[in-house]
Amino acid sequence: MSLFLEDLDEIINDRYENPQKNSYTTRLFESGTDRILKKIGEEAGEVIIASKNNDSKELTAEAADLIFHLLVTLRDKGLRLADVDALLASRHQ
C-alpha cells in the first residue's frame, strides 16, 4: 500500500530544493527553524484539544496539520520520512 505521506515528503523536499513563489511550504522554510517549530507546537496543542473534545473530524484535520509540519521540520534538519520509517522498522525486527 502506498501512502500519500511519501508523495507529500517528496513535495516538501521539492519546495526546499526549488522554492516556489506563493507556496506556504516555501514561506515556512524561508521563515526559518523557529517559525517551523512554533507551528509544531501550535498543531500539537490543537491535536490535544481535538482529542479531548472527542471530535474525530477535527482530530483528523489537526493530525494532518501536525504531520505536515513535522515533515517540514525533518526536511529543515536534513532528514526525511524514510529516516523515521527505517528507525521504526528496525525497532520491530
CA distance 43 to 66: 5
How many whole angstroms separate alpha carbon 93 and alpha carbon 79?
Answer: 22
pLDDT value at position 16? 98
Q: How far is the C-alpha of 90 from the C-alpha of 28, rounded, in Å?
A: 31
Domain formed by 4-87, architecture: Orthogonal Bundle (1.10)
Q: In sequence order, which residues have a C-beta less than 8 Å from that of residue 16 and are 6 or more positions away?
A: 25, 29, 75, 76
Q: In this predicted model, what pLDDT tens digit does every residue of 39-71 receive, in sequence order? A: 999 999 999 999 999 999 999 999 999 999 999
Domain boundaries, the chain: 4-87
Question: pLDDT grade, residue 3 (50/70/90)?
Answer: confident
User: Residues 67-89: pLDDT tens digits?
Assistant: 999 999 999 999 999 999 999 99
The pLDDT score that the predictor gives to residue 1 is: 53
